[in-house]
Chain A
Amino acid sequence: MDLTSVKAMASGSKHSYIRKKKFNFKKDMIGWAIMLPGLVLFTFFVWKPLLSGIILSFFETEGFHAGKFIGFGNYIEALTDMNFKKALLNCFKYTFWTLLLTYLLPPFMAIIINEMVHFRGYFRFSIYFPSMVPSVAVSILWLFLFDPGPNGFLNILLSYLNIEPSGWLQNPKLTIPLIVLTMAWRNFGPTSVIYIAALQGINNDLYGVAAIDGAGFLAKIRHITLPGIYNIMRLFLAVQVIVVFQVLQEPLVLTGGGPDNASTSLMLQIYHFAFRDFQAGKAIATSVIAFIILMSLTLVYFKLVKANTDME
């Protein structure tokens, strides 16, 4: 068996998707019946509230209730807000650093953990542990470590190395990468566990067969391991960009968007508009603008992925 056929086995299912195109009313009904409970819940808890929110963005708002219809008035307000450009740009910075730090680490760690025969349970636990620590404790922790004074924890460590104390989160150049780092540290767990589960699902015989064929480690990783988690990586790329684009909690707690708006995000602006300034209309309009940007990014991404898969 050569490597191409191993690869085909690994990515297995994709080929046998061809279904009967015949419309089958009964089957459709069964499908909808199975999906119905979930759809009801999504409608009540997600779609209907979001829709009522969106509708609100076309009205003058007093608190969270509608006044006069003003068309795109709130959208113009949102787009011309003095911090909009900066917040949008920051969101792309957050995304960039996330792709660099958060996205690739979990599959990498999962692959290594999967090779371990010692302490495997311990490693899985340690990777998951930070995500179980409540955010209150985590923010105390980071503020401690990143204290900008000469008596801050990391600065004390730097002083042993004769390095000038750093402003850490308060250095406008470092603030976004550091916030992303704290997010990576914390959100590592769930994604890694999913990768580990996926790696467990790879047919072990494939490795054996490949070994007999004389494939090296890198070849095995490239042709067996990675295809086994390719689907999840593809999904998580989209999910993580979507999640980080809406980053709120971390800058809210760690920097409040500062210094001088260096770490503010669209979501933080939205949060302030909605809950501090009582400007629901402007908040939702900004949300919808963020949504449109994300949606276009996602569509382009899926188009690219699809083109890529079709070419193979």
Chain B
Amino acid sequence: MSRFSQKTGGFIGVMDLKRLRVRVLYWCMFSFLFLVSLVLLVPPLWIILSSLKDVREFYATPPSLLPKTLQLWKVVEVWNKLEFLRYYGNSFIVVAGCVASTIIFNGLLAYGISRLKPRGSKFIFGLILASIMLPSTVGMVPLFKDITNLKLMNSFVPLWLMSGATAFVVMVYKNFYDNIPSSLFDAAEIDGCSTFGVFWNIVVPLSKAINMVIIIITVNSSWSEFFWSFMILREKTLQTVMVRIYVMSTSFSSVGYGIDYQLVALTFAILPPVIMFIFFQKYIIQGIALTGIKG
């Protein structure tokens, strides 16, 4: 049980874990989490694996728990037919731009509201908060008109910039900046740092963990976004994976793809964000560790 000795943080301390009662509590919590994790993981994996069944078995009632038929060739066929490599490329470009734009624009805006607080910034925050209370339906048509009037069709730029105006992210950043101890800023100001100096030398290094969280969330949301991509990227060569999948699921053609094909395609579609999550989540922890300042 050497792992226990490496425990840092949390309300259960290393010393506590030497007591039997605490260990029992720990393993109870562990089992509980494990059960929850099964509830979260198994159903979607089951439905995804079901896509390899023959489609008639897929819809059989009662449903079969374990597949009786297995059609692995579907995987190859879908990969080839849908030219995933090409659309992965487009999706990556969209996601990369969205991540950059989300962090820079929302982060700066939140920093201004939280720390610099120029006169009127409270009102701006009120506007940002208010904008998530109005259904996006209200502005959708006018926005699309503006985008077409500016000749921004078939361009990634509006998709990128759009994520630079995400109210939720501004709020999370503001909340984070609000909680950085002011002593740090005061010290820097006494040292004669300019506003930008403070931002660059103190805020940016401190924000690593929160940035990782935002990256993870943005990768996921911009990867799975299809409405605006579908509306704006009309050229087939520019389309993203999710647009292809949306087109695939809505074409009521008499020779369309079956649900099994769609699910195989969806599996391909979620691999990149899954991999990115596994990669980035480590940095949530490391990000904190690296800053050397806690709490």
Q: Do chains A and B touch in the complex (CB under 8 A)?
A: yes
Q: Is residue A82 within 8 Å, beta carbon to beta carbon, of the partner chain?
A: no
Interface string of B137-164 (1 = CB under 8 A from A): 1111111001000000000000001101
Q: Is B61 an interface residue (CB 8 A)?
A: yes
Query: Which of B68-76, B78-86, B123-131 faces chain A?
Result: B123-131
A283 near B282: Cβ-Cβ < 8 Å: no
The answer on a CB contact under 8 Å between B40 and A132 is no
Q: Are A291 and B134 in contact (CB under 8 A)?
A: yes
Tell me whether A38 and B11 are in contact (CB under 8 A).
no
Taking a contact as CB atoms under 8 Å apart, the answer to whether A34 and B294 are in contact is: no
Give how many A residues have a beta carbon under 8 Å from the other chain's beta carbons.
117
Residue from B44, B105, B139 in contact with A50 in the complex, judged by beta carbons closer than 8 Å: B139
Choose the segment among A68-76, A93-101, A145-153, A168-176 that binds chain B (4+ C-beta atoms closer than 8 Å): A145-153
Q: Taking the nearest CB of chain B, how far is it from the CB of A289, in angstroms?
A: 11
Asked if B55 is an interface residue, CB under 8 A from chain A, the answer is no
- CB pair B263 A137 closer than 8 Å: yes
Known A-B contacts A274-B137, A298-B133; A38 and B109 likewise in contact (beta carbons under 8 Å): yes
A171-209 contacts to B (CB < 8 Å) = 185, 188, 190, 193-194, 196-197, 199-208
Which of A34, A37, A205 has the most chain B CB atoms closer than 10 A to its own CB? Answer: A34
Q: Is there contact, CB below 8 Å, between A35 and B109? A: yes
**Chain A residues numbered 41-57 whose CB sits less than 8 Å from any CB in chain B:** 41-42, 44-50, 52-54, 56
Structural contact, A193 and B278, CB atoms closer than 8 A: no
Which B residues touch A131, using CB under 8 A? 220
Contact A270 B137, beta carbon cutoff 8 Å: yes
A21 to B117, CA, bound (A): 11
Interface flag for B230 (CB, 8 Å): no
Shortest CB–CB separation between residue A152 and chain B, in angstroms?
Answer: 8
Q: Are the CB atoms of B13 and A151 closer together than 8 Å?
A: no
By beta carbon, the residue of chain A nearest B206 is A201
Contact B143 A287 (CB under 8 A): no
Closest chain B residue, CB of each to CB of A219:
B11
Give the contact stretch, choosing among B87-95, B174-182, B231-239: B174-182
Which residue of A38, A124, A220, A239 contacts B106 across the interface (Cβ within 8 Å)?
A38
CB contacts (< 8 Å) of A199 on chain B: these are 9-10
User: A34-B109, A207-B9, A294-B133 are known contacts; what are 9 more A-B pairs with Cβ within 8 Å?
Assistant: A27-B118, A31-B118, A38-B109, A50-B139, A52-B142, A111-B11, A117-B6, A203-B295, A284-B138
What are 30 A-B contacts with C-beta separation under 8 Å?
A13-B180, A13-B182, A32-B118, A34-B109, A34-B111, A35-B113, A41-B161, A41-B162, A42-B127, A44-B165, A46-B131, A46-B139, A47-B127, A49-B140, A53-B134, A54-B134, A109-B33, A115-B12, A117-B6, A121-B281, A130-B44, A133-B270, A135-B224, A137-B44, A137-B47, A141-B47, A149-B61, A151-B63, A202-B295, A204-B8
